[in-house]
């Protein structure tokens, strides 16, 4: 399967201030959403960066020249944030990845996600070359990666690219909120949706042809470098309330982070959403479905990574291992019902590796310098997240986890 060429545009908005009736009319006509009609009136409800750390999100309310036209009266606009997160997002190819998802992959998914109305970017990368660069960079010494990362960030800051995405407005459904408690019913809905997604691409030959969806190992050294840069600040902020076992686990990740990622990368892979948390989910209560959005961080890897990611956000600090085991068993049953063969023991092991990988990836987000978390909500959300992750590490046997692989 050949990856379709990504078309580029010269008239791509840089910020929300550039969105107007004339641009929207041209964009919607180009994709056949409207024909000869035009956008006559436009209102913008800015959701800020709280809807996604790597982008600005707004809901557009539209009025057309023909009030009876069968075209969406509201839609969601996503555009890169003006924060330094834009540099990280462009470096990692997140914006282009999400455009490729809606253009090339979303129509064939067996789960629901927002409809695609329009997307554009001013420069497109060859995905095979991007992957080759990432793999090549990952082979370099850590000090050289750090130096090159600073150079690339400086260059991107001087020449930012333009991306824009228009998708279906899902606000008619009940929206998730990562700061809120998630009911047992909603947790199971999300796990059922994840199992559907993972089963569709389980050991998929199609997935291996999509080089714009990189394997989890492609950035292992970069992730480990960011972890190393943030661990000192993390220790200073958390030493007083970390248990001895938790400190031991943090030390283990500092020493074995790359081996951990390599172990995950050696597992049978599927399509990972990469950011399954309540802020990226809405619920259609009429159909009993959970709908996923925000597809910027898709990866190829073992399902246990997505499972650990989601459970790390939604299971309270005070929950015991019985609760964790119940949810893993439920997800495992959903996979089996869809014809996937993996033992419960192997899935539990992948989950434990994934939870250690969460330490590797989330601590730099809160305690590193690569991302701006925006409002107070962002910082509070990330700290609560770290606390939930740490509470779930106590039972993981790090001494043998990389050696003893369940059948």
Q: pLDDT tier at 83 (50, 70, 90 boundaries)?
A: low
Percent of the chain with pLDDT over 90: 68
Q: Report which DSSP code applies to 245.
A: H
Burial class (CB in 10 A: 0-12, 13-18, 19+), 270: buried
Conformational region of residue 64, where left means phi above 0, alpha means psi within -120 to 50, and beta covers everything else: beta
- SS3 label, residue 285: coil
- Region 211-236: mean pLDDT is 92
Indicate whether 1 pLDDT > 50: no
Indicate whether 332 pLDDT > 50: yes
- Region 181-189: mean pLDDT is 96
What was the pLDDT predicted at 379?
85
Q: pLDDT tier at 25 (50, 70, 90 boundaries)?
A: very high
Indicate whether 176 pLDDT > 90: yes
Q: How many CA atoms lie within 13 A of 340 on its CB side?
A: 28
Burial class (CB in 10 A: 0-12, 13-18, 19+), 17: exposed
Out of 82-96, 123-137, 376-390, pick the least confident. 82-96
Are 120 and 12 a contacting pair, CB within 8 Å? yes
Indicate whether 338 pLDDT > 90: yes
Indicate whether 172 pLDDT > 50: yes
What DSSP assignment string belongs to 288-337? TEEEE---TT-EEE-HHHHHHHHHHHHS-TT--HHHHHHHHHHHHHHHHH
Give the C-alpha separation, 223 to 216, whole Å.
Answer: 10
What was the pLDDT predicted at 2?
47
Indicate whether 163 pLDDT > 70: yes
Indicate whether 350 pLDDT > 60: yes
* Domains defined along the chain, listed by start: 16-167 (no CATH), 174-391 (3.90.1200.10)
Q: Which runs of E-coded beta strand occur in 228-286?
A: 270-272, 281-284
Average pLDDT, the chain: 90
What was the pLDDT predicted at 394?
85
Question: Beta strands 55-64 and 39-48: pairing type?
Answer: antiparallel
Q: At CA 50, angle to CA 148 and CA 381, rounded to 5?
A: 85
- SS3 label, residue 165: strand
| More confidently predicted of 6 and 193 | 193
What was the pLDDT predicted at 315?
95
Q: How many CA atoms lie within 13 A of 346 on its CB side?
A: 12
For 393-403, what is each residue's pLDDT tens digit? 888 999 999 99
Q: pLDDT tier at 129 (50, 70, 90 boundaries)?
A: confident
């Amino acid at each position: 399967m050949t990856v379709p060429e990504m078309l580029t545009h010269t008239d791509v908005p840089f910020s929300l201030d550039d969105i107007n009736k004339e641009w929207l009319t041209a964009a919607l006509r180009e994709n056949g959403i409207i024909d000869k009609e035009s956008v006559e009136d436009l209102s913008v409800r800015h959701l800020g960066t709280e809807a996604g750390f790597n982008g600005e999100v707004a809901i557009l309310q539209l009025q057309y020249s023909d009030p009876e036209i069968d075209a969406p009266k509201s839609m969601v606009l996503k555009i890169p944030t003006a924060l330094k997160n834009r540099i990280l997002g462009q470096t990692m190819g997140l914006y282009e990845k999400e455009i490729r998802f809606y253009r090339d992959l979303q129509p064939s998914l067996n789960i629901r996600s927002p409809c695609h109305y329009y997307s554009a970017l001013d420069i497109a990368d060859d995905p095979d070359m991007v992957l080759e660069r990432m793999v090549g960079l990952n082979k370099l010494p850590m000090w050289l990666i750090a130096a090159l990362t600073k150079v690339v960030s400086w260059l991107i800051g001087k020449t930012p690219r333009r991306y824009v995405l228009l998708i279906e407005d899902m606000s008619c459904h009940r929206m998730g909120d990562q700061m809120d408690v998630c009911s047992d019913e909603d947790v199971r809905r999300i796990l059922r949706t994840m199992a559907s997604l993972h089963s569709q691409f389980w050991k998929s030959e199609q997935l291996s042809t999509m080089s714009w969806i990189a394997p989890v190992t492609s950035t292992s050294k970069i992730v480990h470098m960011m972890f190393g840069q943030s661990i000192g600040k993390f220790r200073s902020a958390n030493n007083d309330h970390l248990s001895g076992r938790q400190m031991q686990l943090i030390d283990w990740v500092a020493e074995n982070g790359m081996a951990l990622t390599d172990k995950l990368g050696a597992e049978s892979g599927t399509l990972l959403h990469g950011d399954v948390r309540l802020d990226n989910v809405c619920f259609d209560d009429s159909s009993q479905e959970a709908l996923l959005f925000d597809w910027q961080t898709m990866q190829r890897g073992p399902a246990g990574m997505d499972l650990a990611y989601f459970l790390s956000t939604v299971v309270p600090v005070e929950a015991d291992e019985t609760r964790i085991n119940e949810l893993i068993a439920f997800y495992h049953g959903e996979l089996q019902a869809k014809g996937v063969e993996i033992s419960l023991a192997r899935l539990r092991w992948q989950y434990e590796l994934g939870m250690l990988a969460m330490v590797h990836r989330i601590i730099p987000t809160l305690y590193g310098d690569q991302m701006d978390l925006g409002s107070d909500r962002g910082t509070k959300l990330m700290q609560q997240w770290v606390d939930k992750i740490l509470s779930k590490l106590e039972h993981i046997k790090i001494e043998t986890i990389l050696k003893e692989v369940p059948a």
